[in-house]
Structure 1
Amino acid sequence: MKTLELTFNAEFGTARISIRNPKEPIDPAQVKAVMNQLVTTDVFKSPNGDLVSPKSARVISRETQDIELP
C-alpha cells in the first residue's frame, strides 16, 4: 500500500494530510499546485491552525507479508 503524505507549514507548527493509494505516476508539479490550492481555499483545519504554505510531500510504501506459523 502506498500513501501520499502532504506536509504543510501551519500557524502554530506543521500539519499533515495523508492520501491512500494515490494515482501514479505522481507529478511533483501537480502535487505542489494542489497543495497551494488547499492553502488558498482554506478547506482543511488542523490542530496547529490554518495551513500557511506547502512544506514537503512524500510517498510512503508499506509492504505486508504474512508469516505462516508451524
Structure 2
Amino acid sequence: MAKTLELMFGTEFGKTARIAVDNPKEPVDEAAVKQSMEQIIAADVFTSASGRYVAAKGARVIDRNVVEYEIV
C-alpha cells in the first residue's frame, strides 16, 4: 500500500501545480502542511510550466494499492 501526500499550489498564470511527497507521516498535521506550503511559496524556489507558486490551494493523501503479477 503506497500513500502520497499531494500539495496543490495556485500558480501565477491561474493554473494548479502539484508536489508529491511519498510515505507521509500519519496522521497528517494540517497546520504543519499549511505552514510548509506557505514556506515553499515564500522561498520562491519552485516553478512550473504555469509559472511561480503563489497560493496554497489544498492538500490530499492518495492511497494506492498495487498488485503485481509475475507473468512468465
The alignment's TM-score, normalised by the length of structure 1, stands at 0.88
2:68, 2:52 → 1: CA distance?
A: 41
Q: What amino acid does structure 2 have at the position aligned with 1:32?
A: K
Residue 8 of structure 1 is matched in structure 2 by 9
Q: Select the residue among 54, 57, 62 that pairs with 1:55.
A: 57
Question: How big is the shift at 1:15?
Answer: 0.7
Question: How big is the shift at 1:64?
Answer: 1.6
1:48, 1:7 → 2: CA distance?
A: 13
1:41, 1:67 → 2: CA distance?
A: 44
Give the number of aligned pairs.
Answer: 69
Q: What amino acid does structure 1 have at the position aligned with 2:61?
A: V
Gaps of 5+ in 1: none
Residue 31 of structure 1 is matched in structure 2 by 33
Deviations 1:10-69 (A, max 9, x none): 011111101111122210000000000000011211111000010010000001224588
Residue 19 of structure 2 is matched in structure 1 by 17
Alignment partner of 1:22: what SS? Answer: coil
Please provide the CA RMSD for this pair: 1.4
